[in-house]
Amino acid sequence: MKKFADPRKFNLQKKIESIHLETLYIYNNRIKYLENLEKIPNLTSLYLQRNYIEKLENLRHLKNLKRLYIGYNKIKVLEGLDDLKCLEELHIEKQQLSPGDCFCFDPRTIYHLAKSLKVLNVSNNKVTTFKYLAPLTNLTWIDVSHNDLDSISDICEIIRYWPHLKTAILTGNPISKQHRYRETIIANCYQLECLDGKKITDLTRTFIKRFQRERKNKKSKASLNLAEHIPGVPKNYPHTLQKAVSASLITNKLNELTFDQTPTQHIPWKALPKKSLPKCRFPKITMASGDPTTYKGCIISSFP
């Protein structure tokens, strides 16, 4: 492990050569460009916070890099990480963006990080949407707090692609002030355990999902308003009254269609078919002597 974080400021123009180096701290310096890192191929953790870096580049040689901390810089686009196949954690929060700029994601980089990335921190970056993050299906932890996310439907559509997500931080966004924000997010996650620092129990998750499911089914059974479909029907009445009248008309019409108005015909009692008893043949019992006699429904006869 090497640490270069002191008032003298470290300069990356000098090559760092160490085959066995795994962790490198060069945060809080005046670094503007990422260069001369090709001689540390076994690096697994790189700390570059609080510098003047404007672009992610020259990192393709760090094949074993797992954790990259590069917050508090001047980066506008998440790019240049296509070759980091082992990257599991990316912390790129609080970039110093110019007024009117927002942080963006390169879809190609996101695609190449999809299989490995598990932790992502992009808080305080003026992010307006993270629809390009959908391929990150292995995410377990994400922080997108204090951004400009205002569409909860778009967010729910994306987090459905993250079956392993357990922790999400969305505070400080416009969506966090919307009605039933917390319930909506929980209902669209598979195994979320913590939202905005508050734990979610299995009982709470089950109840919310069941409630949302029943609410959705109720909305799908929308009542018909005839005033919206039939020309000439007056529309100057309140909407609820129009729906009530429509339901009444439909019910009465169904009753007319299903009720048979023809007079009932009664069949005379004498015309009904009579039930006939089945003919029974009684078994014969042969006695030793005497004439045939009947005994309790049986014909008794003697031997000849």
Buried b (16+ CB within 10 A) or exposed e, 182-202: bbbbbbbbeebeebeeeebee
CATH code (residue 206): 3.80.10.10
* pLDDT confidence bin for 204, thresholds 50/70/90: confident
Tokens of 136: 């990150």
- pLDDT tens for each residue of 47-74: 999 999 999 999 999 999 999 999 999 9
Within-domain flag for 260? no
> What's residue 209's pLDDT?
82
Buried b (16+ CB within 10 A) or exposed e, 216-250: eeeeeeeeebebeeeeeeeeeeeeeebbebbeeee
Within-domain flag for 16? yes
- pLDDT tens for each residue of 129-152: 989 999 999 999 999 999 999 999
pLDDT: which is higher, 19 or 16: 19
- pLDDT tens for each residue of 249-258: 666 655 555 5
CA atoms of 173 and 61, how far apart (whole Å): 36
| 3-class secondary-structure state, position 228 | helix
Within-domain flag for 273? no
The candidate with the shortest Cα–Cα distance to 81, out of 60, 64, 65, is: 60
The candidate with the shortest Cα–Cα distance to 20, out of 2, 43, 36, is: 43
> What's residue 22's pLDDT?
95
For residue 23, give the H/E element and its range.
strand 23-25
- pLDDT tens for each residue of 114-132: 999 999 999 999 999 989 9
Percent of the chain's residues with pLDDT above 90: 55
Within-domain flag for 281? no
The candidate with the shortest Cα–Cα distance to 75, out of 100, 103, 99, 49, is: 103
Residue 112: what residue type? H
Domain extent at residue 26 = 2-219
Tokens of 3: 């640490």
Within-domain flag for 224? no
Residue 30 has pLDDT above 80, yes or no: yes
> What's residue 177's pLDDT?
93
CA atoms of 143 and 200, how far apart (whole Å): 17
pLDDT: which is higher, 132 or 226: 132
| 3-class secondary-structure state, position 132 | helix
CA atoms of 3 and 10, how far apart (whole Å): 10
Count: domains in the chain: 1
CA atoms of 39 and 1, how far apart (whole Å): 14
